[in-house]
Chain A
Amino acid sequence: AQRVTQPEKLLSVFKGAPVELKCNYSYSGSPELFWYVQYSRQRLQLLLRHISRESIKGFTADLNKGETSFHLKKPFAQEEDSAMYYCAPLENQAGTALIFGKGTTLSVSS
Chain B
Amino acid sequence: GAVVSQHPSWVICKSGTSVKIECRSLDFQATTMFWYRQFPKQSLMLMATSNEGSKATYEQGVEKDKFLINHASLTLSTLTVTSAHPEDSSFYICSVPGQGTFGEQYFGPGTRLTVT
Interface residues of A, Cβ cutoff 8 Å to B: 32, 34, 42-46, 49, 51-52, 86, 90, 93-103, 105
Contacts and interface: CB of A to CB of B under 8 A. Distances in A.
Nearest to A105: B41
Contacts of B49: 97
Given A43-B108, A43-B109, A93 B46 contact: no
A103 B103 contact: no
Given A46-B104, A90-B103, A98 B95 contact: yes
Given A45-B107, A100-B45, 18 more contacts: A32-B103, A43-B110, A44-B95, A46-B105, A49-B102, A49-B103, A49-B104, A93-B101, A94-B98, A94-B103, A95-B97, A96-B97, A96-B103, A98-B95, A98-B105, A100-B43, A101-B43, A103-B43
Identify whether the interface residues of A are mostly helix, strand, loop, or mixed: loop
Interface of B: 1, 31-32, 34, 41-46, 49, 93, 95, 97-98, 100-110
B109 A34 contact: no
B44 A86 contact: yes
Contact of B44 (A32, A44, A52, A105): A44
A73 B86 CA distance: 39
A96 B109 CA distance: 20
A52 to B, nearest CB: 7
